[in-house]
Amino acid sequence: MSMLSDALGSGITGFTRLVTGAQARWIGCAPSAVQRIYFANHASHADFALIWASLPYDLRVRTRPVAGADYWEQGRIRQYLIHEVLRGVLIERAGHARSRNPIEIIVAALDMGDSLIVFPEGTRNTTDEVLLPFKSGLYRTASMRPDVQLVPVWMENLGRVLPKGEIIPVPLLCSVNFGAPMKLEPGEDKATFLERARRALLDLAASIRPQ
Task: Give residues in contact with other proteins (CB under 8 A).
Answer: 21, 23, 126, 157, 160, 163, 166, 168, 170-173, 209-211
- What is the smallest separation between the CB atom of 172 and other proteins, expressed in angstroms? 5
Closer residue to other proteins (CB): 146 or 171: 171
Residue 198, CB half-sphere, CA atoms under 13 Å: how many?
Answer: 19
CA 198, 114, 163, 157 torsion: positive or negative? positive
Closer residue to other proteins (CB): 31 or 171: 171
Closer residue to other proteins (CB): 11 or 171: 171
Closer residue to other proteins (CB): 105 or 172: 172
Distances (CA, A) of 145 to 28, 91, 117, 202: 22, 18, 15, 24
CA distance 198 to 179: 12
- What is the smallest separation between the CB atom of 20 and other proteins, expressed in angstroms? 10
Radius of gyration of the chain (CA): 16
- What is the smallest separation between the CB atom of 209 and other proteins, expressed in angstroms? 8
List the beta bridge partners of residue 20.
none
- Judged on CB neighbours under 10 Å (0-12, 13-18, 19+), 172 is middle
Residue 99 CB neighbours (<10 A):
7
Closer residue to other proteins (CB): 98 or 160: 160
- What is the smallest separation between the CB atom of 52 and other proteins, expressed in angstroms? 21
- What is the smallest separation between the CB atom of 116 and other proteins, expressed in angstroms? 29
